Structure 1
């Protein structure tokens, strides 16, 4: 078993969270941490029953949940080699963690994004605003930073030491783009691999609402322009 820890932020994912936990390859993952982001359903109990470590983060926000998971790792001195982030909605394929971490283990990459920008994207799995938002954000990063990212996908793996060095700060929608921008600034060796992506179970809390879409878009663009002037 490799020393790999998976962090799964989850808000009201009682229908999907056990599927995500169960499909994670246990032969390579040592710890599975589900951060219950103040859910009002049975997300926590479903995750616990599936065998995950369950934490509670009452402050609402994707970044808050990710930071809670990192805080637990530090306090418990788990000292993983690699951290994998994956959503709790079962849109990603957890079994692809093996492929996701391969460039880190075998080619000494620091950071790997699971890109949904490929023919294996299930029709209707991403909303038009998600597709446009990803295109806009990655195009701006290409123009401003010469980046080669094609996606802001939440399914990602990073060396734990590299993640700590990034000093992540964003508490809400900007977490993923912050990580990518800081990785560019830190000259981390990064790559993408194509991953499968299906329609999520339940309704998206971001792209599924007008408010979520607008706030996510503003946050992502603000991070990009902030870093373009640094």
Structure 2
């Protein structure tokens, strides 16, 4: 796949010094013009390791998953990226899935492509039970409201910059992926969900599902975000 599509891979990261380097090096050569790591206030060597691996590092010291995603997107737009890919920095998203994820968008058959972690291709026990429950609740709420057929609200996704800009994102927390899905459904975007080879994190601990408090906080944020945006009417952007 050529770089003519001006594609940027955006990787929000918080204290991922053990995983960020190997992840960047796994990305197939020639797929992305820019690999942008958004260092979201790390206290370890995440930024230094990412730079050494060849990534462009953007600092966002004010923590928040959505804030990191938005900061990376702003940088991608500044550089002229036409397509953006979001991947997690813990190594759980497999860069080998990039081509299959990009194909529907580039061919024009989809406006937003989501990587589904709840398929047979995912590594066993890669998604904690509490995360599976939260995903099920949120995806079913969206399906009921907008007649979509979602099974997951994972963060590995591909979208054109112009389409993401049109969604006018606001969530600066872990509710960002949910807001994107709901707004895309409201706007009649063609959302395609594809199975991915989701993996257990390679090292370190999850900032969301690594403990009960973090899991509950993330679940509440996702559900409240879904409830807030699904009460709005269908709009066209």
> Shared fold by TM > 0.5?
yes
Aligned to 1:23: 26
Query: Could you tell me whether the CA contact under 8 Å between 1:25 and 1:98 is conserved in 2?
Result: no
Query: 1:72 and 1:105 mapped to 2: Cα distance?
Result: 21
Aligned to 1:59: 62
Within 5 Å, give how 1:77-156 maps onto structure 2.
78-156=79-157
Structure 2 runs not aligned, ≥5 long: 233-237
Query: 1:211 and 1:133 mapped to 2: Cα distance?
Result: 14
Question: Normalization by structure 2: what TM-score?
Answer: 0.93
Query: 1:118 and 1:34 mapped to 2: Cα distance?
Result: 27
Query: 1:63 and 1:224 mapped to 2: Cα distance?
Result: 15
SS at match of 1:205: coil
Aligned to 1:218: 220
Matched, 1:192 2:193: yes
Structure 1 runs not aligned, ≥5 long: none
Cα offset, 1:38, TM superposition? 0.6
Residues 137-189 of structure 1, C-alpha deviations (whole Å, 9 max, x = no match):
11111112212111111110001110010111111110100000010111111
Residues 70-90 of structure 1, C-alpha deviations (whole Å, 9 max, x = no match):
22223x3x2222100000000
Please identify runs of 4+ aligned residues in structure 1 that moved more than 4 A: none
Query: Could you tell me whether the CA contact under 8 Å between 1:18 and 1:46 is conserved in 2?
Result: yes
Paired residue for 2:35, among 32, 37, 41? Answer: 32
Query: 2:231 and 2:38 mapped to 1: Cα distance?
Result: 34
Query: Could you tell me whether the CA contact under 8 Å between 2:76 and 2:84 is conserved in 1?
Result: no
Residue correspondences, number: 228
RMSD: 1.1
Query: 1:197 and 1:29 mapped to 2: Cα distance?
Result: 20
Query: 1:225 and 1:97 mapped to 2: Cα distance?
Result: 31
Query: Could you tell me whether the CA contact under 8 Å between 1:91 and 1:199 is conserved in 2?
Result: yes
Query: 1:95 and 1:228 mapped to 2: Cα distance?
Result: 33
Query: Could you tell me whether the CA contact under 8 Å between 1:113 and 1:155 is conserved in 2?
Result: yes
Cα offset, 1:95, TM superposition? 2.2
Paired residue for 1:227, among 222, 226, 229? Answer: 229
Question: Normalization by structure 1: what TM-score?
Answer: 0.96
